[in-house]
Amino acid sequence: MDSCKDISPLVTRVADDEAAGAERGRVEGHVGECAACRVQLHAEREARQLLQDRSAALIGHAPLGLRSRCAATRTPAAQPVRRPLPLLSRAGWPMALAATLVLAVAGSAFYGLVVNPAKAVAAQLALDHLKCFTLFEEPAGLSPADVQAELKARHGIDIVLPAGQAAEGLTLVGGRRCLYLDGSVAHLLYRKGAVQVSLFVLPIGERLGQTGLDVLGHSAVAFTKGGRTWVALARVPHAEMETIAAIFGADNN
Amino acid sequence: MDSAAFEQDALALVDRLFAAALRLTRNEADAQDLVQDTYLRAFRSAGQFEAGTNLRGWMFTILHNTFLNQRRDRGRSPIDADSEAVEQAPDIRQEAGNPEELLLREAMDADLQAALDNLQPAYREAVWLRDVEQFTYDEIAGIVGVPIGTVMSRISRGRRLLYDDLVARSDAYAKRAGAGGDIRSRRV
């Protein structure tokens, strides 16, 4: 009789009805004599059958809106990129941003539009702002020091978080690494009363190109400190956004 | 394959990819992030996909690799702790049936979900890809990036652990109900 060790790899194939002939005969002969392998074959068949029976329910449906959000990721980066334009593939630009802008510029040539790179970046940030505030629960008692330490330890993003905003009514409610721009952007989430405010910190050397602009119903204000460009963004009038950005920039500008 | 057809076929997989992502991350918000990032990468790499080859396997491979990258980069960071609180239950479709069948289905699905979640990630993924997604051993080896022998041992071990877990749950259920029962008798 085959040893259990020899038979073991074949048991799965028999449970899956993938084995035939001599292979199947070896397993059937063995399990007729070996209780342990008989139980193993029974267990594999039962588990497999159960999962197959319930596969439709287990798969279920993706949450509402996920499909459209996934579809949105195809523009404009969905088209195959043969060769980036040299001007926009310069070193230092994150790859995702470069691809986005390359295709946006290529598209603009076709449609006769002129792309605004600052607005393209701000639009990405606005989308991330919406996504993060929509998807994630807000923890209580989040410490700026913890967020700062984790950004550095986990993602290599070394920044000094603004301090003292609490006195101005701004509360830190979350910190994440932005999935866009190859994950090199820190995304800090604040609340000012009912207003959701995002503060993005771009990698060293990157600029937004404009100090203030409106995009997708949100106002964005960029400022520089610590050698980085910071972008404050919220769905508020631009004048109010300027005031909020001044709070962030006030402590060590 | 033209890009419109590619996008349409890829987006048709969103339910399956989300379900698999949920099994990988065990967190709905992270699963949504993972699926979105998967599509971002897939669309960006659309030119590398060869028409007529296995799009489903290609997408699952991207999902798997994206998950590994995210896990490596993010870990279980306090920064992302906000996402941990998000409910994990997927939106499960209910088929028609009498009340008893529906009750049993709900109980069994809950047990199945819990037993799957109890598996170690490598076993859970192998069992899911084989028994729920019906991928071949070769396809799973390609998706996960391990030898076929490893795939088969993970499937074997994972199924056994799943079975033992379900039997234990079934025994507890039978004790509570004051009746005998095994996992087969509860299958509906």
Q: How far is Cα B39 from Cα A128, in angstroms, rounded to an integer?
A: 16
Q: What's the distance, CA A35 to chain centroid?
A: 49
Residues 134-153 of A with CB under 8 A from B: 135-139, 146-147, 150-151
Q: If you average pLDDT over every residue of chain A, what do you get? A: 76
Judged by a CB distance cut-off of 8 A, whether residue B155 touches chain A is: yes
Q: Which of B78, B94, B184 minimises the CB distance to A46?
A: B184
Q: State the pLDDT at residue A112.
A: 37
pLDDT at B92: 31
Residue A100 confidence (pLDDT): 41
Q: What is the per-residue pLDDT for A81?
A: 34
Confidence class for position B27, pLDDT limits 50, 70, 90 = confident
What average pLDDT score do residues A224-251 get?
Answer: 84
B93 touches chain A (CB under 8 A): yes
pLDDT confidence tier of residue A139, bands split at 50, 70 and 90: low
| Listed range (A24-28, A193-197, B91-95, B141-145) with the worst mean pLDDT | B91-95
CB pair distance less than 8 Å for B160 and A40:
yes
What's the pLDDT band for A47 if we cut at 50, 70, 90?
very high
Residue to substitute from B9, B131, B169, interface A, most A β-carbons within 10 A: B131
Chain A contact for B90, CB < 8 A? yes
Q: What is the ipTM of this complex?
A: 0.77
- Specify the higher pLDDT residue, A228 or B107: A228
| Nearest Cα to Cα of residue A190 among A167, A165, A168, A173 | A173
pTM for the model stands at: 0.54
Tell me the chain A residues in contact with residue B44 when contact means C-beta distances shorter than 8 Å.
77-78, 81, 96, 99
**SS3 of A49, please?**
helix
Most confident of A14-28, A103-117, B85-99, B108-122: A14-28
More confidently predicted of A43 and A110? A43
Best CA proximity match to A133, nearest among A227, A44, A218, A253: A218
Higher-pLDDT residue of A91 and B61 is: B61
Comparing A128 with B95, which gets the higher pLDDT? A128
Q: Is a pLDDT exceeding 70 seen at residue A130?
A: yes
What is the structure's pLDDT at A75?
59
Name chain B contacts of A17, Cβ cutoff 8 Å: none
What ranges make up the beta strands (E) of chain A?
170-178, 185-192, 195-201, 212-215, 218-225, 228-234
The 3-class SS string of B22-74 reads HHHHCCHHHHHHHHHHHHHHHHHCHHHCCCCCCHHHHHHHHHHHHHHHHHHHH
